[in-house]
Amino acid sequence: MITIVGVGAAEGYLTERAIKEIESAEVVYGSRRAIEIAKKYVKGKAVVIAKFNEEIYRKIAEEGKKRKVVVLSTGDPMVSGLGKRIEGEVEPGISSVQLALARLKIDLTEVVVIDGHARECLDEVLKAFEIGRDALILADSKFDIKKLREFANVVVLENLGYENERICENCEIKSDLAILFAKRR
């Protein structure tokens, strides 16, 4: 049996249900960051995955036929996570999207969430603006924020939930754990 468990955006954001799933797993797979967030609840074998790919997904599927397997997903598995890539039950987590919206005091229904990791997404931002919504962009330090600033006011939110959390307007992206709030001018 395989369960994909959201560990939240940072330590302290695991749900009680997620903790129970992790504690009962015989094998726990996850990125180094996800394992670090959940490590005090892992009772079985922990397997750090450097890069998730088809070979790893097959290995997890095979292991899941024999044992109770948990695959950790940072944030929430259904917010640009592993929930659609691995077959199994999904236990949601508290995502950086939820933290960003809470910090900004913005309702989820007022934005379009866009995955901007390692890809161009400005057309999607413009489409959000056309339907009267602002954009919340999952980004990293390679994101070209200059293009976005040509037509939007941008708030950078970095390392949400961590001690070095940073929220600022008119600043550059310094972290790979970044979200951009783009509001049409």
pLDDT reported for residue 162:
94
Report in angstroms the alpha-carbon separations of 79 from 83, 95, 184. 8, 7, 23
Last residue of a domain, one of 44, 61, 94: 94
**Tens of pLDDT, residues 64-102:** 999 999 999 999 999 988 888 999 999 999 999 999 999
Task: Report if pTM > 0.75.
Answer: yes
Q: Which domain holds residue 148?
A: 97-184
Categorize the per-residue pLDDT at 170 as very low, low, confident or very high, splitting at 50, 70 and 90: confident
Report in angstroms the alpha-carbon separations of 65 from 54, 69, 73, 88, 130. 17, 9, 20, 11, 47
Q: Quick count: other Cβ atoms within 10 Å of Cβ 131?
A: 7
pLDDT reported for residue 117:
80
pLDDT reported for residue 183:
95
Last residue of a domain, one of 51, 77, 94: 94
CATH number of the structural domain spanning residue 15? 3.40.1010.10
- The mean predicted confidence, pLDDT, of the chain is 94
pLDDT at residue 119 greater than cutoff 90: no
CATH number of the structural domain spanning residue 156? 3.30.950.10
Count: domains in the chain: 2
